[in-house]
Amino acid sequence: MNTLQQLETEMRSRGFSRRTVDSYLFHVSQFSKKVSPESTDEDTQKYFISLSERLDARTINLRISAVKFFYENVLGKELKINYMKRAKRLPEVLTKEEVSGIINSISNTKHRLLIETIYGCGLRVSEAIRLRKEDLRFNEGVLFVRQGKGRKDRIVTLPSAISSRLAAYLISRNDANPYTFDSSRGGHLSVKSAQKIVEKAVIKANIKKNVHVHTLRHSYATHLLEQGTDLRIIQKLLGHADIKTTQLYTQVSTALIKNVKSPLDTLDINAPQEAKGEQK
């Protein structure tokens, strides 16, 4: 058994998702082509620094995590290198009017319901495309998110605005496919298909922001915050393990920022008199 096979066995025995296993195997394989296990920590650090010329810090840090896991759990060595410092960028968020514009621009029933479900339930795209019919509890007004990020289940509110249309859509299909958003090739829609649906809708709605499928989830969280939903509840709905992740949305809410009154507006001051001869 070679080292990559050992890595796969170790990860699968710990219950890592198939996606994570494949990702780690790929990154370790690529790393091993460039860096020897006998290399010093300093040389290894320099290798990852060199990647910053073409990759962002988040991508590099994923590769570092994969390699560190490999060293510690397969090679039995401690790799003392630092993660790359990530730039603090706020996520793009849509206004409610922009979300309406995107939804209203979609005429295909399945595609529209997919986008409404992602936004209306704050789902990750992977969670939405894998949503099963049995996880839609119409009578209870909720849906189950099975094995989301971190392999955790959670329950979210099923919006009444789409509940009856989702039920009617599934009845009209009358098929044995277990997935809510099926593919013509069998199984469920792909992530790429969902991305294309959003891309086309954004163009049709004439929105100039840099919008991706995940932008709908960011917008859901921000709009919940703006309507007064407790941050802890938003954390549960999004499936965040750490409240600090959810707190990011307190920094991106334009509506909340607009409602903050500047102390200058509270002062009792007179409008200035325009001096004679002062240029306008």
218 is annotated as an active-site residue: no
- Tell me, what's the pLDDT at 271? 63
pLDDT band at 166 (very low <50, low <70, confident <90, very high): very high
- Who has greater pLDDT, 188 or 36? 188
Q: Point out the catalytic residue in the list 27, 124, 130, 188.
A: 124
- Tell me, what's the pLDDT at 58? 82
Which residue ranges form the domains of the chain, and what is each CATH number? 3-75 (1.10.150.130), 96-258 (1.10.443.10)
Give the Cα separation of 16 and 38 in Å (integer): 27
Give me the torsion for CA of 250, 253, 259, 263, rounded to 10°.
60
Nearest CA to 37 out of 67, 82, 5, 1 is that of: 67
- Tell me, what's the pLDDT at 263? 56
pLDDT band at 53 (very low <50, low <70, confident <90, very high): confident
- Tell me, what's the pLDDT at 273? 66
212 is annotated as an active-site residue: no
Cβ atoms 3, 66 nearer than 8 A: no
Q: Point out the catalytic residue in the list 63, 112, 130, 217.
A: 217
- Enumerate long-range contacts of 244-253, CB under 8 Å, 24 or more apart: 246/221, 248/90, 248/91, 249/218, 249/221, 249/222, 249/225, 250/225, 251/90, 252/90, 252/91, 252/93, 252/218, 252/222, 253/93, 253/222, 253/225, 253/226
The three-class DSSP label of residue 259 is: coil
Q: Edge-to-edge, what's the strand order for the sheet holding 136-137?
A: 136-137, 142-145, 154-157
- Tell me, what's the pLDDT at 255? 60
- Structure tokens that stand for 182 in this block: 């099926």
First-to-last alpha carbon distance for the chain, in angstroms, is: 81
112 is annotated as an active-site residue: no
pLDDT band at 230 (very low <50, low <70, confident <90, very high): confident
Give the Cα separation of 42 and 210 in Å (integer): 38
- Structure tokens that stand for 105 in this block: 């621009």
pLDDT per residue over 250-263, tens digit each? 766 666 666 656 55
208 is annotated as an active-site residue: no
pLDDT over 60 at 119, yes or no = yes
